[in-house]
Amino acid sequence: MAINFVPDAGDVLMCDFTGFVAPEMTKIRRVVILSPRSRRNFPGTYLVLPISKTPPSPPRPHHCEFKPGSYHFFDPIETVWAKADMVTCVAAHRLDRVKFRGRYSRAQIGREDLLRVRKALLYALGMERWQQTEVIIKGTLR
């Protein structure tokens, strides 16, 4: 498990969280890449936001819901949740592409969904009232 490319923001990859310690995530799961492709400050590390089938109780603004079948690489029957309060930075060796029907495929959420995920992250960071949120979020979508 290791990628040999620089992922784009919005790419969905598999992340191996084994070796982390509970209450951190400790298994392999899908993540959304948040780091912009141009980020070079820490090469080989990426900000990721985990995806979970476990519904939050109760859902809050820092949770982002994806309905069943919204993307072929998410569960076709159950809702999945991007949990912005679990954002973390991981090394490239923990990341791999998503397998779909036995084949690796490019998995990426759409621009509007990436915007929703980034807004959820601002709530998780306590920055939901930031004056220029919209300008900053939309300006970084590339």
84: pLDDT confidence band, cut at 50, 70 and 90? Answer: very high
The answer to whether residue 5 is domain-embedded is no
Q: Which long-range contacts (CB under 8 A, 24 or more apart) does 26-31 make?
A: 30/73, 30/74, 30/80, 30/98, 30/107, 31/90, 31/95
pLDDT digits (tens, 9 = 90+) for 17-63: 998 878 777 799 999 999 887 765 556 899 999 999 999 999 999 99
Q: Which residues pair with 33 in a beta bridge?
A: 48
Please give the average per-residue pLDDT across 116-141, as a whole number: 73
pLDDT at 62 (0 to 100)? 95
The CATH number given to whatever domain includes residue 63 is 2.30.30.110
What is the model's pTM? 0.86
User: 133 or 9: whose pLDDT is higher?
Assistant: 9
Count how many domains the chain has.
1
The answer to whether residue 4 is domain-embedded is no
The answer to whether residue 129 is domain-embedded is yes
The answer to whether residue 1 is domain-embedded is no
The answer to whether residue 89 is domain-embedded is yes
